[in-house]
């Protein structure tokens, strides 16, 4: 309603924050992802530059001159990562349901070779998406390691977003780097996948 009345919603950042919380809840199997589904269906996902918190109450989000080399590119990649995390959550939910069906219902198709291949392809598709984003991150922001060595040289808000998406540039680390909130999502997904595929 605010969008219809004002053509823009000054509280887009709240939608983004709840969106991320809902994705993490889905990944941890404590939520259904219903809020995310509505946001995507209604095309309400904020533009990257609208995800920044305003400096003052009632003021629109502003990208300052010293941040323009980083925003909205870093935020855009972060959104793509969260979308992959959403796919991981959906897949984890589906695998858990299939595992329960196999355990309690004795579904014959769960043991079918085609089913296992399709499940493998779904998992590999997510892994490929993470690899592609890591390459994109490195190509767009090749000075990432310099930023980590001297974070005081980055604008404060930029460093906060860099920390959140930085695991994609760990070219010599596992995609589930333990120090990143985003990679925590991938780690949770991996745990669910292992739990749902055991004894298959």
Looking at residue 10, its pLDDT comes to: 67
Q: What is the pLDDT of residues 71-108, one digit of tens each?
A: 999 999 999 988 988 998 898 888 888 777 776 766 55
| DSSP state for residue 170 in the 8-state scheme | -
Looking at residue 9, its pLDDT comes to: 59
Exposure string over 117-151, b if 16+ CB within 10 A, otherwise e? eebeeebeebeebbeebbebbeeebeebeebeeee
Exposure string over 65-76, b if 16+ CB within 10 A, otherwise e? eebeebbbbbbb
User: What is the overall mean pLDDT for the chain?
Assistant: 76
CA–CA distances in Å: residue 130 to residues 104, 172, 186: 33, 14, 9
| Alpha carbons 4 and 157: distance in angstroms, whole number | 30
What does the pLDDT average to over 19-30? 90
Contact criterion met (CB below 8 Å) for 39 and 45: yes
Query: How far is Cα of residue 13 from the mean position of the Cα atoms in its chain?
Result: 16
What does the pLDDT average to over 1-21? 73
| Alpha carbons 3 and 12: distance in angstroms, whole number | 10
What does the pLDDT average to over 191-195? 40
- pTM for this entry: 0.74
Contact criterion met (CB below 8 Å) for 49 and 75: yes
């Amino acid at each position: 309603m605010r969008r219809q009345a004002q053509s823009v919603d000054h509280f887009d950042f709240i939608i983004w924050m709840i969106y991320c919380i809902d994705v993490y809840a889905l990944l941890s199997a404590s939520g259904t992802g219903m809020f995310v589904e509505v946001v995507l269906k209604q095309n309400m996902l904020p533009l990257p530059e609208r995800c920044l918190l305003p400096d003052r109450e009632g003021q629109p989000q502003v990208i300052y001159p010293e941040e323009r080399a980083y925003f909205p590119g870093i935020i855009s990649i972060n959104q793509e990562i969260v979308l992959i995390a959403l796919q991981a959550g959906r897949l984890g939910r589906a695998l858990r349901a299939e595992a329960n069906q196999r355990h309690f219902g004795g579904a014959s198709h769960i043991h079918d070779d085609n089913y296992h291949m399709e499940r493998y392809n779904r998992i590999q598709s997510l892994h490929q998406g993470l690899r592609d984003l890591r390459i994109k991150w490195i190509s767009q922001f090749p000075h990432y390691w310099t930023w980590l060595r001297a974070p005081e040289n980055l604008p404060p808000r930029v460093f906060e977003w860099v920390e959140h998406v930085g695991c994609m540039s760990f070219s010599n680390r596992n995609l589930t780097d333990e120090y990143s909130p985003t990679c925590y999502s991938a780690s949770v997904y991996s745990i669910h996948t292992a739990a749902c595929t055991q004894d298959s």
